[in-house]
Chains A and B, each alone.
Chain A
Amino acid sequence: MATAVSQASSPFRRTRLSRTALFENIAGYLFISPWIVGFLAFEFGPLIAAGYLGLTRYDILTPPNFVGLANYDKMFTRDPLFWKSLWVTAVYSLSTVFLGVILGVALAVLLNQKVRGMSLYRTIYYLPAVVSGVAVAYMWIWVFTPEAGIVNYALSLIGITGPNWLFSTTWTLPAFVAMSLWAVGGGMVLYLAGLQGVPTQLYEAASLDGAGRWASFWNVTLPMISPVIFFNFIIGIIGSFQVFTNSFVITNGGPANSTLFFVLYLYRHAFENFRMGYAAALGMILFIVIMTLTVISFRLSNRLVYYEGRIT
């Protein structure tokens, strides 16, 4: 009896599922099982494998040899390119994520106006997001070429001699940041959806309170779309730390490692230098960096993101 009372009052008491509920649970798991299998086989499994391989010396072609923390020791103490690639990636990430959010929101606000042909404008701005990365990279080579590129031509019209964008330790990274903004349309679509979900009565109320356009934007629009901004921010951080294609195709990390992004460096070790163990260790560091930034962002989001209906 005592046991029965204790079980009844426990908040963790196991509830007995009805046949139907059990049946539904099994059905649910069966339906998501392709994803679970895919996740275990292609994401979680490789993550565990990378954790192990990061502790080995492994050239892919012969069995791995366990070397403990030697890869990490080398990375932190004797590999200047590890720090260089981390720095290049961090600068790029910071620049692209913040500029991407600002430009994306600005574009979405513009494209949220009631103007004729708006669908066409929206399509045009979104198109870059669906073009193949390598094709885009070749296009940028043309755009930024020093002698005949359109950017330097435009600058020459206002009397400025443009730099050698893709072969300058100063200008190559800014050029890559500019390239990344070209695909801002992907995020813009989400902002646009967010903007269209802002109740119009909030603007009316703000207007009645005497708010101008800027005050309405700052006090109504931004808080209301802050979950979308936060989502794009997280996705932007994750994506920008994994940037690869443009630098692989356009500069191959040069000049003088000024565009040696972290994933390119990892790729070189894995597939050019036959150091898969070291590459796996680099991958683990990348995972930790992205995870840390994501956790920090989520912590900050409690103060900066407004969720409608959330009880704080």
Chain B
Amino acid sequence: MSNQRFSRRQFLRGAAVVGAAVPFLQACGGPSPDSGSADAGADDAAPSMEKTSVRYAQVIGPLDKQVDMFNEQSDTVHVEFELVPWGEHADKLLIDVAAGTAPDLWFIGGPWWIQIKRKEVALPITEFLANDPDVVMDDFEFPADSDWGTVDGEIYGLPTNSVILRGLAYSEDRFEEAGLDLPNEDWTLADVAEVGPKLNRGDESFAITSPLLAADLYLTTIWQNGGQVINEDESKCLLDQPEAVEAIDQLVAWREFSMKPGADQALGEFPTAGGKIAMWPMVLADWDTWLKRTANDTTNQWMTFWPSTTNPPAVDVYAGSVHMEAIWSQSEKIDAAWEFFIWRAINQDSLDYQITLFPINYRMEATVKSAITNERQADFLTLHLPITGLSTGEYWGPSTTEILNAFRSEYELAILGEKTTQEAMDAATKAIDVILEDV
């Protein structure tokens, strides 16, 4: 054992260090709900020249410019932009809400919105919308968006942008080389299957990206074929029914001429620019992404609607994601938050800026005409207008992520050829029925 002894001075120094560590550790815990900014509670305070500061969490980085524009224009409110990565935005919001430290305004992806919109996390805004003289409800152009934010007639949120519908992008060069007609809005999945083998060149370049698609495309395909994921009272899965199985089977067939599943990830974000893929799913009217994926629109590619299962489809419908924004129901600065919230959604400067990035849901058509001078860009942005009236939010059921995972794991077995589509959907149905029992 050491004979070393502490002197009183050494002891006091040590104690001081420990004492100093306590506030440090406290600081590491993050701000308390009411200590986030110097002017917290300013709404209740006497009139002041200081702006009320509100926090706005968003996953889309370029929207910080919208915040800058607002901060310049507003005399009373200052918005603090908090960029959150897409992959963790929902986790972070849940934890922040549970801890009582959520931002005053926040973005949330469609699948998570479905699961929280009934939990009183978002502020009901029907009255705010009705009483705001600047809001013209009819100028919200996409019916799916409005429905998405509503629970039992009460509106809880507004979409960040228009409903996200995916279309079929294609390389004109590849089709011309193969002597094939270009895809058009009348195309069916059978047309894709017909041209697929002619466009596929084995390991060199592929007819289409893998049959692993975004969830909204599975849903569009099932719904268009008259199928459903679950029944009306949400007690039974219907993926084993012939309409759903037949629809899914058409996608599974792509494995014969598509890039191997799992390989597209390694090609990075923009595999289509190099001409390795003749057809690929792409969000309609997302100009910013289009530029990135087509080397600034220099690769001779264009888009059309996602092919239906039959022409005409059994049900004329397109499923899309709707990402929402809402005001936290426990925010202490609701009026200030509302001021920015509605400005972002309907102010013409805000819309003019946002339309340069991706489609909006308020006065979309008029804004394209007034704000976009590039003719091709304007054509691109308005491509989806003919089908937006047919669009609806992507809904897999009450526990949407869990049901989707159950579907996807069996669908993957069908793609791998380890199960027939019918066997896979039978198994998915069984798994989803257990989930529905427990919701």
Question: Which of A20, A31, A60, A167 lies in contact with B262, CB distance below 8 A?
Answer: A167
Q: Does A51 contact B (CB under 8 A)?
A: no
Within 8 A of B (CB), among A255-274: 255-257, 268, 271-274
Q: Does A174 contact B (CB under 8 A)?
A: no
Q: Does A168 contact B (CB under 8 A)?
A: yes
A147 to B415, CA, bound (A): 18
A59 to B115, CA, bound (A): 10
Question: Which of A31, A37, A142, A253 lies in contact with B14, CB distance below 8 A?
Answer: A31
Nearest to B403 among chain A residues (CB) is A273
Chain A residues closer than 8 Å to B94, beta-carbon distance:
60-61, 271, 274
Residues A164 and B261 in contact, CB atoms below 8 Å apart = yes
**Max chain B C-beta neighbours (<10 A), residue from A24, A80, A251, A271:** A271
Residues B402 and A62 in contact, CB atoms below 8 Å apart = no
Known contacts A34-B18, A169-B416, A256-B409: does B261 contact A78 (CB below 8 Å)? no
Query: Number of contacting residues on B, CB 8 A?
Result: 44
CB distance from A26 to the nearest CB of B (A): 8
Q: Does A145 contact B (CB under 8 A)?
A: yes
A146 to B90, CA, bound (A): 32
Contact with A along B229-240 (1 / 0, CB 8 A): 000000000000
Residues B401 and A164 in contact, CB atoms below 8 Å apart = no
CB distance from A78 to the nearest CB of B (A): 6
Residues B266 and A148 in contact, CB atoms below 8 Å apart = yes
Chain A residues closer than 8 Å to B21, beta-carbon distance:
34
Residues A147 and B203 in contact, CB atoms below 8 Å apart = yes
A23 to B116, CA, bound (A): 54
Residues B18 and A60 in contact, CB atoms below 8 Å apart = no
Contact with B along A140-179 (1 / 0, CB 8 A): 0110111111000000000000001111110000000000
Known contacts A30-B15, A31-B14, A268-B405: does B263 contact A61 (CB below 8 Å)? no
Q: Does B119 contact A (CB under 8 A)?
A: yes
Residues A268 and B25 in contact, CB atoms below 8 Å apart = no
Nearest to B91 among chain A residues (CB) is A271
CB distance from B4 to the nearest CB of A (A): 9
**Max chain A C-beta neighbours (<10 A), residue from B5, B25, B409:** B409
Known contacts A23-B6, A24-B5: does B261 contact A256 (CB below 8 Å)? no
Query: Number of contacting residues on A, CB 8 A?
Result: 44
Contact with B along A40-79 (1 / 0, CB 8 A): 0000000000000000000111100000000000100011
Residues A60 and B98 in contact, CB atoms below 8 Å apart = yes
CB distance from B126 to the nearest CB of A (A): 21
Q: Does A223 contact B (CB under 8 A)?
A: no
Q: Does A33 contact B (CB under 8 A)?
A: yes
A76 to B68, CA, bound (A): 53
A33 to B21, CA, bound (A): 10
Residues B260 and A167 in contact, CB atoms below 8 Å apart = yes
Chain B residues closer than 8 Å to A78, beta-carbon distance:
434
Chain B residues closer than 8 Å to A251, beta-carbon distance:
262
Q: Does A128 contact B (CB under 8 A)?
A: no
Nearest to B424 among chain A residues (CB) is A256
CB distance from B257 to the nearest CB of A (A): 14
Chain A residues closer than 8 Å to B409, beta-carbon distance:
253-257
A28 to B45, CA, bound (A): 48
Q: Does B423 contact A (CB under 8 A)?
A: no
Residues A31 and B261 in contact, CB atoms below 8 Å apart = no
Nearest to B405 among chain A residues (CB) is A268
CB distance from B162 to the nearest CB of A (A): 25
Chain B residues closer than 8 Å to A250, beta-carbon distance:
265
Residues A24 and B6 in contact, CB atoms below 8 Å apart = yes
Q: Does B121 contact A (CB under 8 A)?
A: yes
Q: Does B408 contact A (CB under 8 A)?
A: yes
Closest 6 CB pairs of A and B: A167-B262, A145-B266, A255-B412, A272-B401, A166-B262, A61-B119
Apart from A33-B18, A167-B412, A256-B410, what are 6 other A-B pairs with CB-CB below 8 Å?
A23-B11, A27-B15, A147-B203, A255-B413, A255-B415, A268-B402
* 23 pairs of residues in contact across A and B, judged by CB atoms under 8 Å: A24-B5, A27-B14, A27-B15, A60-B97, A61-B94, A61-B97, A62-B119, A145-B266, A147-B260, A147-B263, A164-B260, A164-B261, A167-B262, A250-B265, A251-B262, A254-B408, A255-B416, A256-B410, A256-B412, A271-B91, A271-B94, A272-B401, A274-B94
Q: Which residues of A contact B (CB under 8 A)?
A: 20, 23-24, 27, 30-31, 33-34, 37-38, 59-62, 74, 78-80, 141-142, 144-149, 164-169, 250-251, 253-257, 268, 271-274
